[in-house]
Structure 1
Amino acid sequence: MPEHDPIAEPVTLPALTLGVGREVVLPRAAEAMVWSGVGLPLECVAVPGVLLRPGDVLVEVELATICGSDVHTALGHRLASKPLVLGHEQVGRIVAVTDQSYAANGMPLRVGQRVVWSVAVSCGTCVRCRRGLPHKCLELVKYGHERMQRGWELSGGFATHVQVRAGTAVVVVDEHVPATVLAPASCATATVVAALGAASALVPLAGATVLVTGAGMLGVTACAMATDAGALVVVSDPDPARRQLALAFGAAAVADPSAPRESPTGVASVLAAMQDAAAAEPTIALELSGARPAVQTALDLIGVGGVVVLVGSVSPDDPVLLDPELIVRRLVTVRGVHNYTPGDLAQAVTYLGGAWHRHPFSALVGTTFPLARADAALALAATARHPRVGLAPQPPATLG
């Protein structure tokens, strides 16, 4: 992905003047970095004004972080409409509201509040929303995933501002928690909350032995959360640096899935050694990598009465072997988790507010680029050197 210096004069879209709602003309035009296709540089588009419809909020972005799905879209590894504004992990400050703008807890939103918001915009009335699945709404749209359109140009986090639409779960956040900690809440952290919630509905976390496959952003977050809840966590990842990171987030042991089967560092050997040390067999397995062998490992090694939560498999892949007799005889439950509910996001924010002192969450954003260098940020994120790479509308005091 080529590094790109944006054009000096961004393409300018006119301010909106029609429709029902509140027109907001900014003192300085908002800017969004727009993706138009694989191999093409992001284009800076200026938006001088927005029309806030009832329930909408306009937020000035403090920091956005680059999720793996942003990289996959930019590289053409997943289908996406274009042009679009990437980005769905961010924290920012409200600069405009309507008289119908409310937080997820029902409180009115105010100008000046620091907030994060969900990846999903839901209708709230369809059959899935009524079932408690707003993240699978029949009318679902998602920040950073939708084609840029007239009336919703500021639809992703790679921008100075985001127009947060009615039907989005907005959570007010603490002023003292670093932006590097909060930005991933609206994807990685909330998804982990959902995954642990799916597991703990069947197996209590306190006292459980938990196998986590994948020590990326989700994996180390899951390690910290499960450890804080009283679980003994074993993390599997082929990358030595990621295994060390997992230890920093509370892992009791780490394993190398690429090691030979008889190796003491292999997953089965590490789990066997834990059991020899009086630890219970794993009754929770969180598969967060999306790697087919890791899915198989989780299914093969889960203990009696255990639950396997699949999270990372969000792209097509070859099927894995599932032996129905073993599932039946071992009383195993397999659950899938994709995205999260508003309650999960609120819980993620609450958790981070206390956990960032205990675990090095702020260090997970390895480098922050100014928004104008979004191409360079995407290129670095694609190397997976850091769990997250940051984008700030204004350059921070020191840049990596």
Structure 2
Amino acid sequence: MDTLTTGLTRAAVWRGGSRIDIVEMPIPAPGPGETIVRIRLAMVCGSDLHTVTGRRQSPCPSVLGHESVGEVVAVGDGATAAVGDRVVWSVTVACGECDRCIRGLTAKCRHVRKVGHESFDSGWALSGGYAEHIVLPRGTAVVAVPEGLADAVVAPAACATATVMAAVERAGDLSGLRVLVGGAGMLGMTAAAVCADRGAHVLIADRNRSRLEMSARFGAEPDDGGAVDTILDFTGATEFIRDALSRLEIAGTLVLAGSVTPGPVLDVDPEQVVRRWWTITGVHNYEPRHLQEAVDFLTRTAEQYPWSGLVTAPVPLAEIESALQPTPDGKLRVAVAP
């Protein structure tokens, strides 16, 4: 077992509402299969904003943050990473033994734990990215980051990019198809680039005009209101989904990925699903292969798309409260550098 030479770290502990305390605490020695990572850069995801504004239920107190990149500084026996590796890691931590894990559905493990979503008072206090260090338990997928890939480019892989990879996988072969992406946030912008890369004609819908203009640099065109073969929704807005569904072609596919909070019910006519051969499916979380695909895609397209331009200059950990605000115009992620 490799161990740390320093014994203390700092973490931003969310206490509810907008209250966050910077706490100094010991860095635990890694247990079997555990990996200790020094956080280099973390991103503020939309779900973190939902948590602090009360739109999303989450354990409190906790260390938030689940899109991060860091350097391995200690490993326990049986860990897959090595000290010195620069890595990203999965949001979910799976047991690997339940029926769902055995079926390959680790994202829905019956005993799943989630990075940035666990109680600070549990046995896993350093579970989030808004800290100088994080403990990654056995069952966390860890992927090495190639040299030269910027932290600001790769950090979103752990949530936005990997989730998009899972959604696009559910959509199937997109070559030559008209794909409508709902929402031009980080996931939607990433989805546009992935779909364009796979040969689709990509349309994107969003109320924010500056984001629509930005999407042109990621392979998309503004929605033209015409028929589409595939819909990838990251808005979670029932009204948008209903309208988009009315435009779905024969044998079309609707992938829902943004409906992660309660909302109005979507009425779907089963006869239309049958007669039009529609596929309607959902994606929540992702599998380890999607995280690897995310890193590979960002590596291959690092010069093709202006990924780093979507991210703000880093905010220090001491100013984390200022980071937990809506993203400024022209940016899709606020960065935190512990």
TM-score (norm 2): 0.97
Aligned to 1:54: 32
Q: Return the alpha-carbon distance in structure 2 between the equivalents of residues 175 and 118 of structure 1.
A: 20
- What corresponds to 2:278 in structure 1? 332
Listed one character per residue, the Cα deviations across residues 133-159 of structure 1 (whole Å, up to 9, x for unaligned) are 101100001011111135422110000
Q: Cα 1:24–1:149, aligned 2, differ >3 Å: closer, same or farther?
A: farther
1:130 alignment partner in structure 2 = 102
1:177 equivalent to 2:149? Answer yes
CA distance in structure 2 between the partners assigned to 1:67 and 1:114 by the alignment: 21
**1:118 lines up with 2:64 in the alignment:** no
User: 1:380 deviation in Å?
Assistant: 4.3
User: Could you tell me which residue of structure 2 aligns to residue 217 of structure 1?
Assistant: 186
SS in 2 for 1:246: helix
Summarize the alignment of residues 316-395 of structure 1 with structure 2, pairs less than 5 Å apart.
316-381=262-327, 386-393=331-338
Q: How many residues align?
A: 338
Deviation at 1:300? 1.3
Shift of 1:99: 2.6
Asked whether 1:66 is paired with 2:66, we answer: no
Q: Distance in 2 between matches of 1:195 and 1:351?
A: 15
The structural deviation recorded for 1:237 is 0.7
Deviation at 1:74, TM superposition (A): 0.8
Correspondences of 1:162-241 after superposition (within 5 Å): 162-200=134-172, 204-241=173-210
Once the two structures are superposed, what CA deviation does each residue of 1:20-56 show, in whole Å capped at 9, x if it has no partner?
xx6955526111100011132x101112220311100
Q: Does 1:91 align with 2:69?
A: yes
Question: Unaligned regions of 5+ residues in structure 2, if any?
Answer: none
Output the amino acid matched with 1:246: S
Contact kept? 2:11, 2:126, Cα under 8 Å: yes
Amino acid at match of 1:145: H
Distance 1:39 1:70 in 2: 11
Give matches, 1:24-35, under 5 Å.
24=3, 26-27=5-6, 29-35=8-14
Aligned partner of residue 305 in structure 1, secondary structure:
strand
- Distance, in Å, in 2 between the alignment partners of 1:347 and 1:227 is 16
Amino acid at match of 1:33: A
Q: Which 5+ residue runs of structure 1 have no aligned equivalent?
A: 1-21, 103-108, 256-269, 273-280, 394-400
Distance of 1:221 and 1:355 partners within structure 2? 11
Q: Contact 1:23–1:49 at 8 Å: present in 2 too?
A: no
1:333 and 1:39 mapped to 2: Cα distance? 41
**What's the Cα RMSD here?**
1.5
- Give secondary structure in 1 for the equivalent of 2:216: helix
State whether structure 2 residue 124 is matched by structure 1 residue 156. no
1:34 is paired with a residue of what secondary structure?
A: strand
Does the 8 Å CA contact 2:2/2:75 hold for their aligned counterparts? no
Q: Distance in 1 between matches of 2:124 and 2:29?
A: 9
Matches of 1:334 and 1:150, distance apart in 2:
38
Task: Report the structure number with the largest CA radius of gyration.
Answer: 1
1:387 alignment partner AA? L
Q: Tell me the percent identity.
A: 43
Tell me how far apart the structure 1 counterparts of residues 161 and 70 of structure 2 sit (CA, whole Å): 17
Query: Given the two structures, how large is their TM-score scaled by the length of structure 1?
Result: 0.82
- 4+ runs of 1 displaced by more than 6 Å? none
1:188–1:384 Cα change, 3 Å: farther
Does the 8 Å CA contact 2:18/2:321 hold for their aligned counterparts?
Answer: no
Name the SS of the counterpart of 1:36 in structure 2.
Answer: strand
Residue in 2 aligned with 1:141? 113
